[in-house]
Amino acid sequence: MDINLWERCVKFHGHECPGLAIGYRASLIAKDYLKLNFSEDEETVCITENDACGVDAVQLITGCTFGKGNLMFKNRGKMAFTFLNRENDKAIRLVLKNIPGNLTRKEKQTYILQEKAENVFKITEVNTPMPEKARMFTSIECEKCAEKTSENMIRLEDGKKLCLDCISNYSRIL
């Protein structure tokens, strides 16, 4: 364990916890397995299936961020991360395995940080299609609230260009 890197993650996140340890460990496993460097642009992509503490460690360690477009959120509520390396077209998915239930919070954190990788995560090489690189979109003014909105998020309603906050909710999904 790189104590300096762990401390940087803790400082960035605000506290240490098992959740942060999950992202820390997943990122290190992915970096080693995929031969990743810190992503200056979009060389590395992470698809996170959760919006929990571990995502902070992913950002700090891998350089995957929402702002660069190489951190993607696939909301499934799973402690799962898919890491992709654009330079060698390899990808792995890490899914957290069950952690022994009789451990304290601190013991869980230590288990995640120090146990063998294959005991902490199900690690699978995957053939996930490489996501499109981030695109720039024209901003369109919503004709109801007058706020600028990315053109790919504008909807038409009664001939007016509306943002997602202003469009009427319509669903026939039960």
Please give the average per-residue pLDDT across 81-97, as a whole number: 96
The yes-or-no verdict on residue 173 having pLDDT over 80 is no
The yes-or-no verdict on residue 131 having pLDDT over 90 is no
pLDDT digits (tens, 9 = 90+) for 44-57: 999 999 999 999 99
pLDDT digits (tens, 9 = 90+) for 10-42: 999 999 999 999 999 999 999 999 999 999 999
pLDDT reported for residue 85: 96
- Residue 3 CA: distances (Å) to CA of 6, 7, 38, 40, 162: 5, 6, 18, 23, 49
Neighbours of 17 (CB within 10 A): 17
Distance CA 1, CA 6 (A): 8
The yes-or-no verdict on residue 121 having pLDDT over 80 is yes
pLDDT reported for residue 62: 97
The yes-or-no verdict on residue 1 having pLDDT over 90 is no
Q: Which domains does the chain have, with CATH numbers?
A: 3-125 (3.30.1330.130), 136-174 (3.30.60)
Please give the average per-residue pLDDT across 145-163, as a whole number: 95
